[in-house]
Amino acid sequence: MKTAEDVELSEAQIAVHWREEEYFYPPAKFIGQANASDPGIFERFREENFPECFKEYADLLTWDKYWHTTLDTSNAP
């Protein structure tokens, strides 16, 4: 029996799965207790607004030290 460490994937195999998008919706009970119940939140945080939209989200939090960059892509993998 092979373990996860024994399985080697080619770049092509990884690329096939990398493009897949699976969504797992939360149970109704979880949605009912959620703090973010405004349906407009999905519009504000759409992919087209990324990463700038997270500045608005970060402003809702209390920070010990204020941040200056929303997303640093200077040394991305």
Task: Confirm if 55 and 70 have CB atoms less than 8 A apart.
Answer: yes
pLDDT at 20: 65
Alpha helices per DSSP H over 1-77: 11-18, 28-33, 40-44, 53-58
pLDDT-derived band at 64, boundaries 50, 70, 90: very high
CB-based contact 58:71 (threshold 8 Å): no
Q: Are the beta carbons of 70 and 52 closer than 8 angstroms? A: yes
Domain borders along the chain are 11-58
pLDDT at 25 over 80: yes
Residue-wise pLDDT for 43-54, tens only, equals: 887 888 888 888
pTM of the model: 0.36
Give the largest CA-CA distance in the chain. Answer: 51
Tens-digit pLDDT profile for residues 8-20? 777 777 777 666 6
